[in-house]
Structure 1
Amino acid sequence: MHADLVGRVAQQVEDRMGSEVAAVFANCFANTLSTTMTTMPDGTTFMVTGDIPAMWLRDSTAQLTPYLHFLADDPGLADTVASVSRRQLEYVMIDPYANAFNRAPDGAGHTDDHTEMSPWVWERKYEIDSLCYPIRLAFDLWERTGRTDHLDRFAEVATVAIDLWTVEQDHETSSTYRFERPDPLLPSDTLVRDGLGPVTARTGLTWSAFRPSDDATTLGFNVPGNAFAVTELRHVALLAAVVLDDDQLTRRATALADEIDAAIRAHGVVDHPEHGEVLAYEVDGAGEALLMDDANVPSLLSLPMLGWCDRDDALYRRTRAAVLSPTNPYWFSGATGSGIGSPHTPGRNVWPIALAVQGLTATDADERAGLLRQLCATHAGTQLMHESFDVDEPTGYTRPWFSWANAMFCEFVLDLAGLRTAPAALSAPVSDRGAR
């Protein structure tokens, strides 16, 4: 699928970055397009994450990230992205609390979980970002091409997301969501308090049962997830104003974005013993804060990439310094380099996703070059990225087929090669963006 695009871009990378980088890039860039997509009878596209036969709302957006730069000149590629977007929006309307879906209503997946399962749902771990990512993909497609044919259900989905995020601002008394997994492999696979989760106090932040790693939150309010929601609510407001002509949706999205953003700054900023004021990874609204970062996105490290702040923002720079240091319990340094891992994977494992995000948010050329060398030296001869690898012995890796990691490597290489493009629609006046 899209072999001409793969060949053309891989040659550009080779011309600018050399054959070693280009060989890994070509493998990773082709992988998502050739191995993860199935066109369904309704014309939408179902995308697996790789070695799990389900479609994650988060992953299916992230997997497409490096291809967005070529949409304006490739209508066929834009059609593919639109078909994924439509399927995502349909899934959200089936169950906005679910994070992963089946190809058909066949009841595959975690059917023994104690929650309101549907035969369409593979897993119903509620994560803020599972609603953010479909909004982001729909917005990105419009912003880069001006097309609107994928937005038929966008207003419904955005309204559902706003309603849910508002309810989950008061999770303790307003939410009906519960989740328990019988006999979980790890404690992080289920929620405490009979599925209600950790105790939280209302702050204006919106609650999340799980992190983007699919691990349960420790304190309930995931700060980078809330920051991502702020960004996507502002995207909703823009689309509602420019394309949908929906003043009420514009007002609701803007008001909630402002409320959550203010709550992040009031409750998510804490004093770090070594780095001063930084953003916590999670808080409970009652004074407890968790100082760490996780490899999965949204993360604190990824906030400029998500659009919540600039790379040179002072609060972000202090937070970045903290999470890229031993004060983050999931930052590891070893024989092959250093980077951020996750409690989702064992031991001293670093994630290529986090290394790519570090590169995409870095301002120092030497740091970026070192991260590229590390990624190219730790794929264990496979010429593909993995979920994670042992920082002392990269042949000890998890998940040999993980499309999100491949995509983030490609995004980083495109950035280094000067091939990441600004959205085409940004060149048009705001009043004209919905007219194409």
Structure 2
Amino acid sequence: MVRPDPDELLPPPIVRRWTERIDRFAGAECADLFAVAIRRTLARTLHRLDDGTVFVVTGDIPAMWLRDAATQMRPYLALLGATGPGELPGLAEMIGGVVRRQFAYIAHDPYANAFNAAPNGNCHEPRDLGDDPWLWERKYEIDSLCFPFQLADQLARATADTAHFTAAFRAAAGTAVDTLTVELDHENLSSYRFVRPDTIPQDTLPRDGRGAPVAVTGMTWSAFRPSDDACVHGYLVPANLMAAHTLDLIAARLGVADELAVRARSLAAILRAGVEAHGVVAHPHHGEIWAYEVDGLGATLLADDANMPSLLSLPLVAGIDPADARYARTRGFVLSPDNPYFYRGALAAGPGSPHTPVDHVWPIALAVAGLTTADRSESLRLLRTIAATTAGTGHVHESFHVDDDTRFTRDWFSWADSMYCELALRVAGYPQAL
């Protein structure tokens, strides 16, 4: 593996240009953190493999999450769009290498969430079911089948280059469509199981790895949330909406008459109808909103998690208009104490997660809130909040305590760095790609 030169991918004059612009709009503290974070992901997470594809570590864990690798690239896509791919050919080519590596992983095992750079047997927990040496972890999460295709589409829109839509894209897309279709009827059609012995409930599935019972609803089943915590009820509503949007993107790249495109569009319609029938609830304070999880048997979880895809992030990952009335009501719920994972303190207020301690908010969620509001002053306030709560480390952490940012989780979380950088670019005048 070879690490690319970050200065060749993103020349210092371009970093300085945007750093100075962020300084004018948001101040030196925000600009200084941007300058460090935008370079750190390029300098420390990228590894070019012998086949020319690019392996991306998530930060302080030496594995490539399909979700994280895609979201880590988001600010660089914005820079490509703002600067022009002709000025940053190395950056565009590098992201293409990430996409090709993700396609290979999906084709290898669509149920895995995190992979090794080689079949070396490294893994998070050796007692998990399965012995594939390529897999770091095999927690099935719908978003793992969505983010890579969204990254591919975003790259094409930023550069007008479609060279990465190859046979490998089609193979991965077919695998994703097949898997999402099987999981429409998890109880009867799926062979997926996940068991982690002697652990907390969030890290394993009940019923010998099958998960809690679900009915057939038209939604596709997920074992785990994007936090890597087990789903409680099986049907993760924001992930289903993300999947529907992703299937439409896949279909558009394949062509109207293509058989796989027809299947993808049909499945997208089934998922949306399933969400509409089972994933929408009437909240006593907020009105009609999307639930976070349901099981089709009557159980509903009204909450939101800090990780994407979340209800809050639907404009970023699911093509939902930020002005959509149901989204506005759902957003009001998420950013209120009615959300059981919303925390408020002296330093910050925002969504947290059962994945991290109580009273810890996630900078990723703060950035998402800033990227999905039309209020630029709110975006600026959230950017400054993130920059002011690094505990002097110069790192955007996974989470921090709302009253004490020295109480944080994960020393280095590249996804959080990238979401901060994307928000900084938006505050500095470049709109994010929804």
Is 1:32 the counterpart of 2:41? The answer is yes
Equivalents in 1 of 2:131, 2:334: separation in Å? 36
Equivalents in 1 of 2:433, 2:285: separation in Å? 37
Equivalents in 1 of 2:125, 2:384: separation in Å? 42
Identity across the alignment (%): 53
Structure 1 residue runs of 4 or more that deviate by more than 4 Å after TM superposition = none
Q: Following superposition of structure 1 onto structure 2, how do residues 75-154 of structure 1 map, counting pairs within 5 Å?
A: 75-110=89-124, 112-152=126-166, 153-154=168-169
Aligned match of 1:388: 399
* CA shift digits 1:147-176 (9 cap, x unpaired): 222222111111110100000000000000
Tell me: CA distance 1:257–1:231, structure 2 relative to 1, closer, same or farther (3 Å).
same
Tell me: CA distance 1:289–1:251, structure 2 relative to 1, closer, same or farther (3 Å).
same
Q: Give 1:147's aligned amino acid.
A: D
Q: Following superposition of structure 1 onto structure 2, how do residues 10-409 of structure 1 map, counting pairs within 5 Å?
A: 10-71=19-80, 72-73=85-86, 74-110=88-124, 112-152=126-166, 153-184=168-199, 186-241=200-255, 247-409=258-420
Equivalents in 1 of 2:155, 2:224: separation in Å? 27
Tell me: CA distance 1:420–1:33, structure 2 relative to 1, closer, same or farther (3 Å).
farther
Tell me: CA distance 1:422–1:314, structure 2 relative to 1, closer, same or farther (3 Å).
closer
Equivalents in 1 of 2:213, 2:127: separation in Å? 21
Equivalent residue in structure 2 for 1:7, among 12, 16, 21 = 16
* CA shift digits 1:297-332 (9 cap, x unpaired): 000000011243111111111111111111111000
Tell me: CA distance 1:58–1:15, structure 2 relative to 1, closer, same or farther (3 Å).
same
Contact preservation (8 Å) 1:230, 1:308: no
Q: Give 2:32's aligned amino acid.
A: A
Give 1:111 deviation, angstroms.
5.2
* CA shift digits 1:199-249 (9 cap, x unpaired): 0000110000000000000000000000110110010011001xxx76112
Tell me: CA distance 1:234–1:346, structure 2 relative to 1, closer, same or farther (3 Å).
same
Contact preservation (8 Å) 1:218, 1:282: yes
Q: Give 1:321's aligned amino acid.
A: G
Contact preservation (8 Å) 2:422, 2:432: no
Tell me: CA distance 1:113–1:271, structure 2 relative to 1, closer, same or farther (3 Å).
farther
Equivalents in 2 of 1:114, 1:383: separation in Å? 35
Give the SS at the match of 2:365. helix
Contact preservation (8 Å) 1:112, 1:181: no
Equivalents in 1 of 2:44, 2:100: separation in Å? 20
Contact preservation (8 Å) 1:115, 1:177: no
Give 1:14 deviation, angstroms.
2.5
* CA shift digits 1:23-64 (9 cap, x unpaired): 011111111111111111111111100000000000000000
Tell me: CA distance 1:148–1:367, structure 2 relative to 1, closer, same or farther (3 Å).
closer
Equivalents in 1 of 2:349, 2:76: separation in Å? 28
Equivalents in 2 of 1:80, 1:164: separation in Å? 28
Equivalents in 1 of 2:363, 2:316: separation in Å? 16
Aligned match of 1:428: none
Give 1:364 deviation, angstroms.
2.6
Contact preservation (8 Å) 1:111, 1:117: no
Equivalents in 1 of 2:131, 2:40: separation in Å? 31
Give 1:112 deviation, angstroms.
2.9
Give the SS at the match of 1:198. coil
Equivalents in 1 of 2:134, 2:257: separation in Å? 30
Give 1:67 deviation, angstroms.
0.3
Give 1:266 deviation, angstroms.
1.1
Tell me: CA distance 1:90–1:382, structure 2 relative to 1, closer, same or farther (3 Å).
same
Equivalents in 1 of 2:67, 2:378: separation in Å? 28
Equivalents in 2 of 1:421, 1:225: separation in Å? 21
* CA shift digits 1:88-133 (9 cap, x unpaired): 1111111110000001101001353443341000000000000101
Q: Give 1:172's aligned amino acid.
A: E
Equivalents in 1 of 2:50, 2:284: separation in Å? 56
Contact preservation (8 Å) 1:211, 1:222: yes
Give 1:422 deviation, angstroms.
5.9
Q: Give 1:109's aligned amino acid.
A: C
Equivalents in 1 of 2:286, 2:277: separation in Å? 18
Contact preservation (8 Å) 2:244, 2:318: no
Q: Which segments of 5 or more consecutive residues in structure 1 lack a partner in the other structure? A: 424-436
Give 1:384 deviation, angstroms.
2.0
Q: Give 1:171's aligned amino acid.
A: H
Contact preservation (8 Å) 2:246, 2:318: no
Tell me: CA distance 1:124–1:381, structure 2 relative to 1, closer, same or farther (3 Å).
same
Q: Greater shift after overlay, 353-362 or 301-310?
A: 301-310
Contact preservation (8 Å) 1:348, 1:391: yes
TM-score normalised by the chain length of structure 1: 0.93
Equivalents in 1 of 2:428, 2:15: separation in Å? 15
Equivalents in 1 of 2:127, 2:107: separation in Å? 21
Aligned match of 2:3: none
Tell me how large the CA RMSD over aligned residues is: 1.5
Give 1:75 deviation, angstroms.
1.2
